[in-house]
Amino acid sequence: MTIEFEDGFAAEKLFNQGYSYTYDDVIFLPHYIDFPTDAVSLSTKLSRNISLSTPCVSSPMDTVTESYMATAMAALGGMGIIHSNTTPPEQADAVRSVKSRRVPILSNPVFKSPDSLIVDQFDDDSLPCVIVTESGTATSKVLGYVFKSDWMSLSDKEAKLVDYMHTVDSKISVPWNYDLAQIDAYLKQQDHDFVLLEKEGEVVDVITKQEVERVKGYPKLGKGTVGSDGKWMVGAAIGTRQSDRERLEHLVKAGVDVVVLDSSQGNSIYQIEMIKHIKQTYPELDVIGGNVVTMYQTQNLIEAGADGLRVGMGSGSICTTQEVCAVGRGQATAVYKVSSIAARSGVPVIADGGISNSGHIVKALTLGASTVMMGSFLAGSTEAPGAYQYKNGYRIKKYRGMGSLEAMTKGSDQRYLGDTAKLKIAQGVVGAVADKGSVLRFIPYTMQAVKQGFQDLGASSLQSAHDLLRSKTLRLEVRTGAAQVEGGVHGLISYEKKAF
Protein backbone atom coordinates (compact mmCIF):
# COMPACT_ATOMS: atom_id res chain seq x y z
CA MET A 1 0.00 0.00 0.00
CA THR A 2 1.43 3.39 -1.06
CA ILE A 3 0.87 6.34 1.22
CA GLU A 4 0.98 9.83 -0.31
CA PHE A 5 2.72 12.34 1.91
CA GLU A 6 2.14 16.06 1.60
CA ASP A 7 4.78 17.49 3.89
CA GLY A 8 5.82 21.12 3.54
CA PHE A 9 5.84 22.95 0.22
CA ALA A 10 7.74 22.62 -3.03
CA ALA A 11 9.95 25.66 -3.68
CA GLU A 12 7.95 26.51 -6.79
CA LYS A 13 4.76 26.85 -4.75
CA LEU A 14 6.35 28.56 -1.74
CA PHE A 15 8.09 31.30 -3.73
CA ASN A 16 5.08 32.09 -5.92
CA GLN A 17 2.80 33.34 -3.16
CA GLY A 18 3.79 36.99 -3.36
CA TYR A 19 6.06 37.11 -0.31
CA SER A 20 9.67 38.30 -0.22
CA TYR A 21 11.52 35.81 1.96
CA THR A 22 14.94 36.09 3.55
CA TYR A 23 17.09 33.10 4.50
CA ASP A 24 15.82 33.14 8.10
CA ASP A 25 12.20 33.09 6.93
CA VAL A 26 12.45 29.62 5.39
CA ILE A 27 13.62 26.22 6.55
CA PHE A 28 14.25 22.98 4.66
CA LEU A 29 12.72 19.73 5.85
CA PRO A 30 15.23 16.88 6.23
CA HIS A 31 15.41 14.19 3.55
CA TYR A 32 17.00 10.71 3.35
CA ILE A 33 20.69 10.10 4.15
CA ASP A 34 22.61 7.28 2.44
CA PHE A 35 26.16 8.70 2.45
CA PRO A 36 28.70 10.05 4.98
CA THR A 37 29.45 13.75 5.40
CA ASP A 38 32.87 13.40 3.80
CA ALA A 39 31.20 12.15 0.61
CA VAL A 40 29.61 15.57 0.06
CA SER A 41 31.30 17.49 -2.75
CA LEU A 42 31.04 21.29 -2.81
CA SER A 43 32.76 21.63 -6.19
CA THR A 44 30.96 24.17 -8.32
CA LYS A 45 31.07 26.75 -11.09
CA LEU A 46 31.76 30.44 -10.55
CA SER A 47 30.95 31.22 -14.18
CA ARG A 48 30.54 29.28 -17.40
CA ASN A 49 34.25 28.45 -17.69
CA ILE A 50 35.66 28.76 -14.16
CA SER A 51 35.38 25.94 -11.63
CA LEU A 52 35.91 26.16 -7.87
CA SER A 53 36.34 23.43 -5.28
CA THR A 54 34.86 25.68 -2.57
CA PRO A 55 31.69 27.72 -3.28
CA CYS A 56 32.98 30.89 -1.62
CA VAL A 57 33.74 34.27 -3.20
CA SER A 58 34.93 37.38 -1.37
CA SER A 59 33.05 40.56 -2.17
CA PRO A 60 34.69 43.41 -4.14
CA MET A 61 34.51 45.84 -1.21
CA ASP A 62 37.40 48.04 -0.15
CA THR A 63 37.24 46.72 3.42
CA VAL A 64 37.07 43.08 2.29
CA THR A 65 39.07 42.14 -0.81
CA GLU A 66 42.53 43.23 -1.83
CA SER A 67 45.45 40.98 -2.75
CA TYR A 68 45.86 39.36 0.70
CA MET A 69 42.21 38.21 0.84
CA ALA A 70 42.20 37.12 -2.82
CA THR A 71 45.33 35.01 -2.25
CA ALA A 72 43.78 33.30 0.77
CA MET A 73 40.47 32.67 -1.01
CA ALA A 74 42.27 31.07 -3.95
CA ALA A 75 44.26 28.89 -1.56
CA LEU A 76 40.97 27.71 -0.04
CA GLY A 77 39.58 26.74 -3.42
CA GLY A 78 37.38 29.81 -3.75
CA MET A 79 37.98 33.15 -5.42
CA GLY A 80 38.57 36.76 -4.42
CA ILE A 81 37.25 39.72 -6.43
CA ILE A 82 39.53 42.78 -6.13
CA HIS A 83 37.52 45.96 -5.51
CA SER A 84 37.62 48.86 -7.96
CA ASN A 85 37.59 51.72 -5.45
CA THR A 86 41.14 52.56 -6.49
CA THR A 87 43.03 53.59 -9.62
CA PRO A 88 43.23 51.15 -12.57
CA PRO A 89 47.03 50.67 -12.19
CA GLU A 90 46.65 49.97 -8.45
CA GLN A 91 43.89 47.45 -9.05
CA ALA A 92 45.97 45.78 -11.75
CA ASP A 93 48.96 45.65 -9.35
CA ALA A 94 46.75 43.85 -6.82
CA VAL A 95 45.90 41.26 -9.48
CA ARG A 96 49.61 40.81 -10.28
CA SER A 97 50.36 40.47 -6.57
CA VAL A 98 47.97 37.52 -6.29
CA LYS A 99 49.37 35.97 -9.47
CA SER A 100 52.95 36.20 -8.23
CA ARG A 101 52.39 34.04 -5.13
CA ARG A 102 51.73 30.39 -4.43
CA VAL A 103 51.36 30.43 -0.64
CA PRO A 104 48.49 32.12 1.24
CA ILE A 105 50.82 34.40 3.16
CA LEU A 106 51.20 37.99 2.07
CA SER A 107 53.52 40.44 3.81
CA ASN A 108 53.65 43.32 1.31
CA PRO A 109 57.44 43.70 1.68
CA VAL A 110 58.97 47.14 1.99
CA PHE A 111 62.33 47.82 0.36
CA LYS A 112 64.81 50.49 1.42
CA SER A 113 68.28 51.57 0.35
CA PRO A 114 71.20 51.39 2.85
CA ASP A 115 71.14 55.16 3.43
CA SER A 116 67.40 55.23 4.11
CA LEU A 117 65.65 55.70 7.43
CA ILE A 118 62.57 53.80 8.54
CA VAL A 119 59.70 56.19 9.13
CA ASP A 120 56.46 54.61 10.42
CA GLN A 121 56.88 51.48 8.27
CA PHE A 122 56.27 49.17 11.21
CA ASP A 123 52.87 50.68 12.00
CA ASP A 124 51.53 47.91 9.77
CA ASP A 125 51.01 44.84 11.97
CA SER A 126 51.52 42.46 9.03
CA LEU A 127 54.99 43.77 8.18
CA PRO A 128 57.67 41.45 9.67
CA CYS A 129 60.75 43.23 8.38
CA VAL A 130 62.19 45.75 5.96
CA ILE A 131 64.45 44.46 3.17
CA VAL A 132 67.54 46.50 2.34
CA THR A 133 68.62 46.42 -1.31
CA GLU A 134 71.23 48.40 -3.26
CA SER A 135 68.70 50.72 -4.89
CA GLY A 136 65.83 50.37 -2.43
CA THR A 137 63.69 48.43 -4.94
CA ALA A 138 62.63 44.80 -5.27
CA THR A 139 64.67 44.32 -8.43
CA SER A 140 68.14 45.11 -7.05
CA LYS A 141 70.61 43.06 -5.00
CA VAL A 142 69.56 42.22 -1.44
CA LEU A 143 72.06 43.47 1.16
CA GLY A 144 70.32 42.87 4.46
CA TYR A 145 67.19 43.17 6.54
CA VAL A 146 65.75 44.81 9.64
CA PHE A 147 63.18 43.08 11.82
CA LYS A 148 60.47 45.05 13.59
CA SER A 149 61.93 44.04 16.97
CA ASP A 150 65.35 45.40 15.93
CA TRP A 151 63.87 48.77 15.02
CA MET A 152 61.68 48.96 18.14
CA SER A 153 64.70 48.44 20.39
CA LEU A 154 66.65 51.32 18.83
CA SER A 155 66.96 54.49 20.87
CA ASP A 156 68.00 56.47 17.77
CA LYS A 157 65.18 56.03 15.24
CA GLU A 158 66.96 58.32 12.79
CA ALA A 159 69.92 55.99 12.24
CA LYS A 160 70.62 54.84 8.69
CA LEU A 161 69.75 51.25 7.92
CA VAL A 162 73.31 50.42 6.90
CA ASP A 163 74.37 51.05 10.52
CA TYR A 164 72.21 48.38 12.14
CA MET A 165 70.81 46.04 9.51
CA HIS A 166 71.52 42.30 9.51
CA THR A 167 73.67 41.51 6.50
CA VAL A 168 72.85 38.55 4.30
CA ASP A 169 75.50 35.91 4.89
CA SER A 170 73.93 33.07 2.90
CA LYS A 171 71.24 32.45 0.33
CA ILE A 172 67.84 33.40 1.72
CA SER A 173 65.67 33.25 -1.36
CA VAL A 174 63.60 30.56 -3.08
CA PRO A 175 61.48 30.53 -6.26
CA TRP A 176 58.08 32.24 -6.05
CA ASN A 177 56.17 29.02 -6.74
CA TYR A 178 57.48 27.09 -3.73
CA ASP A 179 54.58 25.69 -1.72
CA LEU A 180 54.26 25.90 2.06
CA ALA A 181 55.90 22.52 2.69
CA GLN A 182 58.92 23.43 0.54
CA ILE A 183 59.33 26.79 2.28
CA ASP A 184 59.04 25.13 5.68
CA ALA A 185 61.70 22.56 4.79
CA TYR A 186 64.02 25.24 3.43
CA LEU A 187 63.73 27.40 6.56
CA LYS A 188 64.58 24.43 8.75
CA GLN A 189 67.47 23.38 6.52
CA GLN A 190 69.03 26.84 6.40
CA ASP A 191 68.00 27.77 9.97
CA HIS A 192 66.67 31.15 8.84
CA ASP A 193 63.96 33.27 10.44
CA PHE A 194 62.54 34.22 7.04
CA VAL A 195 62.92 33.58 3.34
CA LEU A 196 62.50 35.78 0.28
CA LEU A 197 60.35 34.61 -2.62
CA GLU A 198 61.86 35.64 -5.95
CA LYS A 199 60.39 35.73 -9.41
CA GLU A 200 62.57 36.62 -12.40
CA GLY A 201 65.12 38.37 -10.17
CA GLU A 202 62.52 40.35 -8.24
CA VAL A 203 61.54 39.82 -4.59
CA VAL A 204 57.77 39.37 -4.47
CA ASP A 205 57.30 38.43 -0.83
CA VAL A 206 58.91 37.78 2.53
CA ILE A 207 57.79 34.70 4.46
CA THR A 208 58.75 34.36 8.11
CA LYS A 209 59.11 31.14 10.08
CA GLN A 210 56.46 32.44 12.47
CA GLU A 211 53.94 32.87 9.64
CA VAL A 212 54.67 29.40 8.28
CA GLU A 213 54.05 27.86 11.71
CA ARG A 214 50.79 29.83 12.02
CA VAL A 215 49.42 28.62 8.69
CA LYS A 216 50.57 25.03 9.34
CA GLY A 217 48.27 25.04 12.36
CA TYR A 218 45.19 25.64 10.22
CA PRO A 219 43.18 22.91 8.46
CA LYS A 220 45.13 21.42 5.59
CA LEU A 221 44.77 23.27 2.32
CA GLY A 222 44.06 21.49 -0.94
CA LYS A 223 45.19 22.41 -4.42
CA GLY A 224 43.32 25.69 -4.41
CA THR A 225 42.01 27.60 -7.40
CA VAL A 226 44.90 27.44 -9.84
CA GLY A 227 44.83 28.27 -13.54
CA SER A 228 46.49 26.38 -16.35
CA ASP A 229 49.58 28.57 -15.86
CA GLY A 230 50.03 27.34 -12.29
CA LYS A 231 49.05 30.69 -10.78
CA TRP A 232 46.24 31.57 -8.39
CA MET A 233 43.06 32.63 -10.14
CA VAL A 234 41.65 36.04 -9.23
CA GLY A 235 38.80 38.28 -10.30
CA ALA A 236 38.32 42.04 -10.34
CA ALA A 237 35.37 44.43 -10.29
CA ILE A 238 34.79 47.14 -12.87
CA GLY A 239 32.03 49.63 -13.60
CA THR A 240 30.16 50.41 -16.80
CA ARG A 241 31.55 53.83 -17.69
CA GLN A 242 33.73 54.54 -20.72
CA SER A 243 36.71 54.91 -18.38
CA ASP A 244 36.18 51.33 -17.21
CA ARG A 245 37.14 50.07 -20.64
CA GLU A 246 40.62 51.43 -19.96
CA ARG A 247 40.52 49.83 -16.48
CA LEU A 248 39.58 46.55 -18.12
CA GLU A 249 42.61 46.76 -20.40
CA HIS A 250 44.90 47.18 -17.37
CA LEU A 251 43.31 44.16 -15.67
CA VAL A 252 43.56 41.92 -18.73
CA LYS A 253 47.26 42.76 -19.09
CA ALA A 254 47.72 41.89 -15.41
CA GLY A 255 46.20 38.44 -16.05
CA VAL A 256 42.76 38.75 -14.42
CA ASP A 257 40.68 35.56 -14.81
CA VAL A 258 37.17 36.99 -14.52
CA VAL A 259 35.60 40.44 -14.25
CA VAL A 260 32.54 41.34 -12.21
CA LEU A 261 30.40 44.27 -13.34
CA ASP A 262 29.83 46.04 -10.04
CA SER A 263 26.40 47.65 -9.96
CA SER A 264 23.62 47.64 -7.39
CA GLN A 265 21.05 47.40 -10.22
CA GLY A 266 22.54 45.58 -13.18
CA ASN A 267 19.63 45.66 -15.61
CA SER A 268 20.72 48.79 -17.44
CA ILE A 269 21.69 49.76 -20.97
CA TYR A 270 25.14 50.66 -19.59
CA GLN A 271 25.79 47.14 -18.29
CA ILE A 272 24.34 45.41 -21.33
CA GLU A 273 26.62 47.44 -23.60
CA MET A 274 29.63 46.72 -21.38
CA ILE A 275 28.94 42.97 -21.42
CA LYS A 276 28.75 43.02 -25.21
CA HIS A 277 31.97 45.07 -25.41
CA ILE A 278 33.86 42.63 -23.16
CA LYS A 279 32.66 39.56 -25.03
CA GLN A 280 33.60 41.12 -28.38
CA THR A 281 36.98 42.48 -27.25
CA TYR A 282 38.06 39.66 -24.92
CA PRO A 283 35.99 36.60 -25.91
CA GLU A 284 38.03 34.29 -23.67
CA LEU A 285 37.37 36.39 -20.54
CA ASP A 286 34.36 35.45 -18.43
CA VAL A 287 32.17 38.35 -17.29
CA ILE A 288 29.76 38.22 -14.36
CA GLY A 289 26.79 40.59 -14.54
CA GLY A 290 24.51 41.99 -11.86
CA ASN A 291 23.28 42.66 -9.41
CA VAL A 292 19.87 41.23 -10.25
CA VAL A 293 16.92 39.94 -8.22
CA THR A 294 14.19 39.29 -10.82
CA MET A 295 13.72 36.86 -13.67
CA TYR A 296 13.29 39.73 -16.13
CA GLN A 297 16.64 41.28 -15.15
CA THR A 298 18.23 37.85 -15.36
CA GLN A 299 17.04 37.14 -18.88
CA ASN A 300 18.26 40.52 -20.16
CA LEU A 301 21.82 40.01 -18.92
CA ILE A 302 21.98 36.40 -20.11
CA GLU A 303 20.90 37.49 -23.58
CA ALA A 304 23.62 40.17 -23.51
CA GLY A 305 26.23 37.42 -22.96
CA ALA A 306 26.86 37.26 -19.18
CA ASP A 307 28.80 34.15 -18.08
CA GLY A 308 27.55 34.40 -14.50
CA LEU A 309 25.12 36.46 -12.43
CA ARG A 310 25.39 38.13 -9.05
CA VAL A 311 22.14 38.13 -7.06
CA GLY A 312 21.15 40.50 -4.28
CA MET A 313 19.83 44.00 -3.74
CA GLY A 314 19.70 45.51 -0.29
CA SER A 315 20.43 42.26 1.58
CA GLY A 316 23.91 43.12 2.87
CA SER A 317 24.40 43.94 6.55
CA ILE A 318 25.70 47.43 5.72
CA CYS A 319 23.34 48.10 2.80
CA THR A 320 20.37 50.48 3.10
CA THR A 321 19.10 50.31 -0.50
CA GLN A 322 15.72 48.77 0.39
CA GLU A 323 15.21 51.35 3.14
CA VAL A 324 16.32 54.37 1.09
CA CYS A 325 15.04 53.44 -2.37
CA ALA A 326 12.18 51.02 -1.61
CA VAL A 327 13.60 48.65 -4.22
CA GLY A 328 15.05 45.17 -3.81
CA ARG A 329 13.96 41.70 -2.77
CA GLY A 330 14.32 39.23 0.07
CA GLN A 331 17.46 37.23 -0.66
CA ALA A 332 15.96 33.73 -0.46
CA THR A 333 13.26 34.64 -2.96
CA ALA A 334 15.76 36.47 -5.20
CA VAL A 335 18.18 33.53 -5.33
CA TYR A 336 15.44 31.04 -6.15
CA LYS A 337 13.81 33.19 -8.84
CA VAL A 338 17.05 34.16 -10.59
CA SER A 339 18.47 30.64 -10.42
CA SER A 340 15.35 29.10 -11.90
CA ILE A 341 15.83 31.17 -15.06
CA ALA A 342 19.65 31.14 -15.18
CA ALA A 343 19.77 27.32 -14.94
CA ARG A 344 17.95 27.02 -18.26
CA SER A 345 20.92 28.73 -19.97
CA GLY A 346 23.61 27.04 -17.88
CA VAL A 347 24.60 30.32 -16.24
CA PRO A 348 25.90 29.99 -12.65
CA VAL A 349 24.48 32.28 -9.97
CA ILE A 350 26.35 33.98 -7.12
CA ALA A 351 24.24 34.65 -4.01
CA ASP A 352 25.58 38.01 -2.89
CA GLY A 353 24.72 39.28 0.58
CA GLY A 354 22.80 38.18 3.64
CA ILE A 355 25.27 35.46 4.70
CA SER A 356 25.70 35.44 8.48
CA ASN A 357 26.23 31.75 9.22
CA SER A 358 26.76 28.34 7.62
CA GLY A 359 23.01 27.70 7.52
CA HIS A 360 22.55 30.70 5.24
CA ILE A 361 25.16 29.24 2.89
CA VAL A 362 23.31 25.91 2.81
CA LYS A 363 20.05 27.70 1.98
CA ALA A 364 21.59 29.90 -0.72
CA LEU A 365 23.29 26.97 -2.47
CA THR A 366 20.28 24.69 -2.23
CA LEU A 367 17.93 27.35 -3.57
CA GLY A 368 19.93 27.38 -6.79
CA ALA A 369 23.10 29.42 -6.28
CA SER A 370 26.42 27.94 -7.37
CA THR A 371 28.50 30.12 -5.03
CA VAL A 372 28.00 32.62 -2.22
CA MET A 373 29.64 36.03 -2.12
CA MET A 374 30.50 37.27 1.35
CA GLY A 375 31.31 40.68 2.77
CA SER A 376 30.63 40.97 6.49
CA PHE A 377 31.31 37.24 6.93
CA LEU A 378 34.94 37.84 5.90
CA ALA A 379 35.38 41.42 7.13
CA GLY A 380 37.46 41.78 10.28
CA SER A 381 39.57 38.76 9.40
CA THR A 382 43.36 38.78 9.29
CA GLU A 383 43.26 38.92 5.50
CA ALA A 384 40.79 41.83 5.22
CA PRO A 385 42.27 45.28 4.42
CA GLY A 386 42.80 47.77 7.21
CA ALA A 387 44.47 47.89 10.61
CA TYR A 388 42.97 46.53 13.80
CA GLN A 389 41.74 48.94 16.45
CA TYR A 390 40.44 48.46 19.98
CA LYS A 391 37.01 49.66 21.06
CA ASN A 392 35.25 48.81 24.33
CA GLY A 393 37.64 45.92 24.84
CA TYR A 394 37.06 44.44 21.38
CA ARG A 395 39.62 44.13 18.60
CA ILE A 396 37.88 45.42 15.50
CA LYS A 397 38.35 46.42 11.87
CA LYS A 398 36.39 48.95 9.88
CA TYR A 399 33.71 47.59 7.55
CA ARG A 400 31.79 49.87 5.26
CA GLY A 401 29.22 49.55 2.53
CA MET A 402 30.24 50.60 -0.95
CA GLY A 403 27.10 52.74 -0.89
CA SER A 404 28.26 54.66 2.18
CA LEU A 405 29.17 58.30 1.67
CA GLU A 406 32.71 57.53 2.86
CA ALA A 407 33.20 54.89 0.13
CA MET A 408 31.47 57.04 -2.48
CA THR A 409 34.09 59.76 -2.10
CA LYS A 410 36.58 57.18 -3.42
CA GLY A 411 34.50 56.50 -6.52
CA SER A 412 32.08 53.71 -5.59
CA ASP A 413 29.07 55.94 -6.41
CA GLN A 414 29.48 54.56 -9.96
CA ARG A 415 27.90 51.28 -8.90
CA TYR A 416 24.76 53.20 -7.86
CA LEU A 417 24.78 55.26 -11.10
CA GLY A 418 25.24 58.32 -8.90
CA ASP A 419 28.67 59.57 -9.94
CA THR A 420 27.13 62.28 -12.15
CA ALA A 421 24.52 63.37 -9.60
CA LYS A 422 24.98 66.70 -7.84
CA LEU A 423 23.50 65.38 -4.61
CA LYS A 424 24.94 62.17 -3.16
CA ILE A 425 22.52 59.82 -1.38
CA ALA A 426 23.97 57.06 0.78
CA GLN A 427 22.78 53.49 0.30
CA GLY A 428 25.10 52.03 2.92
CA VAL A 429 26.72 52.69 6.29
CA VAL A 430 30.16 52.63 7.90
CA GLY A 431 30.61 50.23 10.79
CA ALA A 432 33.04 47.83 12.41
CA VAL A 433 33.28 44.08 12.95
CA ALA A 434 35.12 42.04 15.54
CA ASP A 435 38.39 40.25 14.80
CA LYS A 436 37.55 36.83 13.35
CA GLY A 437 41.07 35.50 12.95
CA SER A 438 42.22 34.03 9.65
CA VAL A 439 39.88 32.93 6.86
CA LEU A 440 42.33 30.04 6.38
CA ARG A 441 41.00 28.73 9.68
CA PHE A 442 37.30 29.56 9.84
CA ILE A 443 36.29 28.95 6.20
CA PRO A 444 37.26 25.22 6.29
CA TYR A 445 35.20 24.76 9.47
CA THR A 446 32.31 26.65 7.91
CA MET A 447 32.43 24.44 4.83
CA GLN A 448 32.37 21.34 7.01
CA ALA A 449 29.16 22.65 8.60
CA VAL A 450 27.77 23.23 5.09
CA LYS A 451 28.57 19.62 4.18
CA GLN A 452 26.66 18.44 7.25
CA GLY A 453 23.70 20.55 6.15
CA PHE A 454 23.79 18.97 2.69
CA GLN A 455 23.93 15.53 4.26
CA ASP A 456 20.75 16.28 6.26
CA LEU A 457 19.11 17.32 2.99
CA GLY A 458 20.14 14.06 1.36
CA ALA A 459 22.22 15.92 -1.24
CA SER A 460 25.78 14.77 -1.90
CA SER A 461 26.58 17.71 -4.21
CA LEU A 462 25.30 21.11 -5.29
CA GLN A 463 23.85 19.63 -8.46
CA SER A 464 22.11 16.95 -6.40
CA ALA A 465 20.58 19.64 -4.15
CA HIS A 466 19.38 21.62 -7.19
CA ASP A 467 17.86 18.49 -8.72
CA LEU A 468 16.08 17.55 -5.49
CA LEU A 469 14.67 21.07 -5.20
CA ARG A 470 13.44 21.29 -8.80
CA SER A 471 11.95 17.79 -8.72
CA LYS A 472 9.91 18.92 -5.66
CA THR A 473 11.53 16.21 -3.53
CA LEU A 474 13.02 18.77 -1.15
CA ARG A 475 10.33 20.56 0.80
CA LEU A 476 10.33 23.88 2.63
CA GLU A 477 8.23 25.76 5.14
CA VAL A 478 8.03 29.34 6.32
CA ARG A 479 9.14 29.92 9.90
CA THR A 480 7.09 32.07 12.24
CA GLY A 481 8.86 34.53 14.50
CA ALA A 482 8.48 32.09 17.40
CA ALA A 483 9.92 29.27 15.28
CA GLN A 484 12.97 31.40 14.47
CA VAL A 485 13.50 32.08 18.18
CA GLU A 486 13.08 28.38 18.97
CA GLY A 487 15.57 27.49 16.21
CA GLY A 488 18.29 29.53 17.91
CA VAL A 489 19.79 29.51 21.40
CA HIS A 490 17.06 30.39 23.90
CA GLY A 491 15.96 29.96 27.51
CA LEU A 492 19.44 30.34 29.02
CA ILE A 493 20.66 32.89 31.55
CA SER A 494 24.07 32.91 29.90
CA TYR A 495 25.99 30.88 27.34
CA GLU A 496 29.16 30.82 25.28
CA LYS A 497 28.69 30.22 21.56
CA LYS A 498 31.53 28.68 19.60
CA ALA A 499 31.19 27.60 15.98
CA PHE A 500 34.17 25.23 16.16
102, 319, 441, 475: which one is catalytic? 319
Rounded Cα distance, 71 and 60, in Å: 14
Is residue 319 part of the annotated active site? The answer reads: yes
CB 255 within 8 A of CB 101: no
Q: At what angle do helices 439-457 and 462-470 cross, to 10 degrees?
A: 40
Rounded Cα distance, 300 and 366, in Å: 24
Measured in whole angstroms, the distance separating CA 162 from the mean position of its chain's CA atoms is 40
96, 101, 102, 415: which one is catalytic? 415
Gyration radius of the chain over CA positions: 24
197 DSSP β-pair partners: 174, 205
Give binding residues for K(+) as ranges: 314, 316, 319
Give binding residues for IMP as ranges: 317, 352-354, 375-376, 399-403, 427
Neighbours of 234 (CB within 10 A): 29
Rounded Cα distance, 142 and 131, in Å: 7
Buried b (16+ CB within 10 A) or exposed e, 4-36: eeeebbbbeebbeeeeebbbbbbbbeeeeeeee
Give binding residues for NAD(+) as ranges: 262-264, 312-314
- In this structure, the strands spanning 142-147 and 166-167 are antiparallel
- The C-alpha torsion from 27 through 29 and 34 to 40, rounded to 10°, is -10
Q: How far is CA 177 from CA 104, 198, 230, 414, in A?
A: 12, 9, 8, 37
Residues carrying an active site annotation: 319, 415
